[in-house]
Structure 1
Amino acid sequence: MKNILKITSMLAISALTFACGSGQQKEEAATVQEESPAKAESNDGFIKIFDGESLNGWDGDATYWRVENGAIVGEITEETKLERNHFIIYQGGQPADFEFKAEFKITEAGNSGVNYRSEPVEGLAHALKGYQADIDGKNNYTGQNYEERKRTTLAYIGQQTKINPQEKEGDLRANVEKNAWLGLEVVQELGDRAEMRKVVKSNDWNEIRIVAKGNRLKHYINGTLMSDVTDEDPANSTSEGYLGMQVHVGPPMQVAYRNIYLKNL
């Protein structure tokens, strides 16, 4: 009888231990299952390329670039006026097909932009040439496609364009007129330019998104497609290159970028 009671007691303890352990495992598994989808959904394939605290992974002249209040800040003062445009350049690769998104805020006198698929300028530190999603404080150009140090304007605000090659003799400037590439062909208008400019908030935070896939380049501001370029100029187009943000020659200004993300397509 004592043996039966002992065996029964041991079985009960084992069952209780198994139940508790099983319950704990289920609880831990449930926690993992609850956290994983949320994490995946929040990233959506994007990688954060600015940590919000330092310029690790970026290369820029400290005279003009710093981190402040969780943002990369570019500033020109009366004492630090520029003789040429300067960039802070992402060192984590040379994206080809990608989606980029960030928030920016710029002062009224400011002139900036996000360069991509760009190359360094020989002999000049922190200089890039290539495609640029333009940004300015007066909101004359924000969202257009301007090619820095190359073919100049490829699409104004509100334009879907096709870029055709030009064959005038001489350098690239021989094919530029009124600061626009002569091969710029307007496919269609995306909307009323005056109305489109109203989506940009002055001296406040705005979202910029760039989608570059193959030879098609789209610029969005606060969810509105501002310009759409299909580049069919093989001699001058680029399929990959450096990414960077600009401070432009001009009066004292400040621009800030935060929540900077990149997704390879």
Structure 2
Amino acid sequence: MTTAGFLFPSCISSQHNTLTEAEKAEGWQLLFDGETMQGWRDYNGTTLTEPWHVVDGCIQAVGKGSDGNGYIVTEKMYENFELSWDWKLTKGGNSGMLYHVVERPQYKVPYVTGPEYQLLDVPNFEGELEEWQKLGVDYAMYLPDQSKMKVNPYGKWNNSKIVFDNGHVEHWLNGQKILEFEAWTDDWHSRKNSGKWANAPEYGLAKKGVICLQDHGDPASFRNIKIKELPHKPSKERLLFNGIDLHGWEAYGTELWYVKNGLLYCESGPDKQYGYLATRDYYDNFDLTVEFKQEADGNSGVFIRSFIEEKVKVNGWQVEVAPKGHGTGGIYESYGRGWIAQITKEQEEHLKVGDWNTMRIKVAGDNIKTWLNGHPMIDLTDEKIGKGQGRIALQIHDGGGIKVAWRNLILSDE
């Protein structure tokens, strides 16, 4: 047994790291078998190399992690769930449980993508603390009700639970609900954009992701980690553009996005660079119709499952909107492969020049279909698209001279 193994009394018990028959019937699953690290690996990795191990029926963080390393994640991604676990810290200890964590090479740490239930021995923590950093918070976002928090001291076991049910979030501590909020509301976005996450554009937007444990430089111990998945509830049909302003959208770049006479316009600015108008929320599986009219040039597009990188760069897949002869309705990958599905010469004739056109885009798992003015254009099944998730975004191509009007952006969540 390593030195870290002597930090806590044994976890071994016939009741620990097992499920009752009733729990099995309800759909609970263990994320830790009490004996091995099976099902866990490094964040952004394929194997487990971070300083975690199993000691006496507990997953233990050795305490050698830091802000930039020490994170382990589940093999599987989860969307809606109840997640329960027991935890115990050393004196002044700091750790956390994160969810909806997204893994991409662009992200060096998980907390810029996934929300965190903070675990902290507040009475003995060395250093100044903001309220949003303390035990039980939705880190840097929502605070718990302190009057409901009954905490066992360091070295003793506590139980926590996160409920994420189609945007409704609850934090529980030792059998008491201490916090609840609704994700992706105006209030949620206001908090996200005005605090710690103001420079983390993709924080908290993912609808699904891996579960993550944090070694923040202090030994921590976990047991009875179990999860029950909850069903996805499709939302009602919605208008992505309200015809009045750009509420629900975020602009990237210096190109022009504005509303005039109930229409949404994109227009090249003086810099003549790429520009994007992205939904502030993620949409993974959906059926979207948009109407567009190319008033000048018309080199634009509709990105799906895209994310923002380096201020103006958008990574994802673009359904092309372009002048005749340039592939409207085809699919272009903005990084890596370029064109992955192109239309035929005959299909080019479905584009109405100087008039309103209707584009339909249906995304389900790894399949994407497009229609232009009622005509089927692309039916593509692609594993890489299937693994993606992100925003819907409209594009202005670089080069200048572009002006496109948009209306009736209607989305049904699948």
Q: What's the TM-score, normalizing by structure 1?
A: 0.63
Equivalent position SS for 2:387: coil
What does the per-residue CA deviation read over 1:4-33, in whole Å, with 9 as the maximum and x for residues that have no partner? Answer: xxxxxxxxxxxxxxxxxxxxxxxxxxxxxx
Q: Which runs of 4+ in 1 moved over 4 A?
A: none
**Amino acid paired to 2:379:** D
Aligned equivalent of 1:263: 412
Structure ID, larger Rg? 1
Could you tell me how far 1:90 is from its partner in structure 2? Answer: 0.7
Aligned equivalent of 1:215: 366
Aligned equivalent of 1:138: 324
Conservation of the 8 A alpha-carbon contact between 1:106 and 1:256: yes
Q: Which has the higher contact order (CA 8 A, sep 6+)?
A: 1
Equivalent residue for 1:249, pick from 398, 404, 408:
398
In structure 2, what is the Cα distance between the partners aligned to 1:81 and 1:117? Answer: 25
**Amino acid paired to 1:102:** V
Could you tell me how far 1:237 is from its partner in structure 2? Answer: 5.0
Aligned equivalent of 2:337: 151
1:74 paired with 2:266, answer yes
1:124 paired with 2:316, answer no
1:86 paired with 2:278, answer no
Equivalent position SS for 1:198: helix
**Amino acid paired to 2:245:** S
Aligned equivalent of 1:225: 376
1:201 paired with 2:361, answer no
Equivalent position SS for 2:247: coil
CA RMSD between the two structures: 1.9
Aligned equivalent of 2:302: 114
Aligned equivalent of 2:78: none
Instruction: List alignment gaps of at least 5 residues for structure 2.
Output: 1-234
In structure 2, what is the Cα distance between the partners aligned to 1:65 and 1:150? Answer: 28
Instruction: List alignment gaps of at least 5 residues for structure 1.
Output: 1-43, 158-192
Q: What's the TM-score, normalizing by structure 2?
A: 0.41
**Amino acid paired to 2:345:** A
In structure 1, what is the Cα distance between the partners aligned to 2:399 and 2:255? Answer: 15
In the alignment of these two chains, the number of paired residues is 179
Could you tell me how far 1:89 is from its partner in structure 2? Answer: 0.7
In structure 1, what is the Cα distance between the partners aligned to 2:291 and 2:325? Answer: 16
Equivalent position SS for 1:138: coil
Could you tell me how far 1:139 is from its partner in structure 2? Answer: 3.9
Could you tell me how far 1:45 is from its partner in structure 2? Answer: 4.4
Further displaced range: 97-106 or 54-63? 54-63
Equivalent position SS for 1:107: strand
Equivalent residue for 1:96, pick from 251, 276, 284:
284
Which structure has greater helix proportion?
A: 1
Structure 1 108/67 Cα, relative in aligned 2: closer, same or farther at 3 Å? closer
In structure 1, what is the Cα distance between the partners aligned to 2:307 and 2:336? Answer: 11
What does the per-residue CA deviation read over 1:182-224, in whole Å, with 9 as the maximum and x for residues that have no partner? Answer: xxxxxxxxxxx33322121002110011000010001111111
Conservation of the 8 A alpha-carbon contact between 2:237 and 2:411: yes
In structure 2, what is the Cα distance between the partners aligned to 1:208 and 1:199? Answer: 11
Equivalent residue for 1:46, pick from 220, 231, 237:
237
In structure 1, what is the Cα distance between the partners aligned to 2:258 and 2:387? Answer: 30
In structure 2, what is the Cα distance between the partners aligned to 1:139 and 1:105? Answer: 16
In structure 2, what is the Cα distance between the partners aligned to 1:139 and 1:90? Answer: 28
Conservation of the 8 A alpha-carbon contact between 2:359 and 2:371: yes
What does the per-residue CA deviation read over 1:98-154, in whole Å, with 9 as the maximum and x for residues that have no partner? Answer: 111110111352210000111111x224x3111110010234210001011332111
**Percent sequence identity over aligned pairs:** 32
